[in-house]
Amino acid sequence: MRRKLVVGNWKLNGSFARNTALLGEVRSGGCVEGVDIAVCPPFPYLQQAGDMLSGSSVLLGAQDVSAYQEGAYTGEVSGRMLVDLGCTYVIVGHSERRSLFGETDSRVASKVGAALAAGLTPIVCVGESRSQRELGGAEQVVASQLESVVAAIDIKLLDRLVVAYEPVWAIGTGLTATPEQAQSMHVFIRRCLGRGGVDSDGVRILYGGSVNAGNALQLFNEKDIDGALVGGASLVFDGFKAICEAASKASL
């Protein structure tokens, strides 16, 4: 049985003072039976988060990684640097990176390769927009995003991936895919990975799209939903803990 994983994506939020309070709560209350938990603060706060979480079961992740290992790439942060800061996970290809910063499928694949080369576990985000879903192209969009990664990476490394399905129309909108919609896409993702030669039964696939304490358990009870990539709800400890506890209940 795949172990549940809940990842908090803080996005462009935080300050030293706010982080101290939140991380203190996460450290003291973030151990939930049967669930792996990680937080992904902005780059400037990774050292603070790593120090405060040291010795706890909560893992550290970053929100992005460079496709380059080193060199004259001003503003970039490499996978090796993230490992030096204690990161285990890194989010790659989030819909905001794709839509706001122009990241292509090939660029995302390059970043996945760089993350794996550094020893990180990439959380590869895929998902469709509302118009793409309404036009019946959701599966085609997700398949294309996955195929770019599978084609570019050594097949022996791909079982280290985590995939996050994030319907773009449900991010920050208050809308959420129904458990049935999410499960259907998770099954499709697992099938796509299998067609590419990946042992997809062992790959954790998370749901990310306005996950909160109220809808988490219904989502996690679906067979192929292995956890969540949580945005705004990860900034308030009580809500984040409730999501982690829902994952634990679904694991029993």
Q: Where are the beta strands (DSSP E) in the chain?
A: 4-9, 35-40, 59-62, 89-92, 121-126, 162-165, 204-207, 227-230
Q: Among this protein's residues, is 166 annotated catalytic?
A: yes
Tell which residue, 57, 119, 112, 147, has the closest CA to residue 139: 147
Q: Which of 96, 128, 166, 222 is catalytic?
A: 166
> Do the Cβ atoms of 38 and 88 come closer than 8 Å?
yes
Question: Pairing between strand 227-230 and 89-92?
Answer: unpaired
Torsion of CA 13, 14, 15, 21, to 10 degrees: 160
Hey, what are 233's tokens?
A: 């709800």
Within 13 Å of residue 99, how many CA atoms lie on the same side as its CB? 12
Judge contact between 29 and 237, C-beta under 8 A: yes
Cα separation, 238 vs 215, whole angstroms: 15
Tell me, yes or no, if 186 is annotated catalytic: no
Do residues 185 and 138 make contact, with C-beta atoms less than 8 angstroms apart?
Answer: yes
What dihedral angle (degrees, nearest 10) is formed by the CA atoms of 123, 189, 211, 159?
-30
Q: Residue 66: which residues within 8 A CB-CB, separation 6 or more? A: 73, 76, 77, 78, 79, 111, 114
Residue from 94, 96, 103, 222 carrying the catalytic annotation = 94
Q: Residues with catalytic annotation?
A: 94, 166
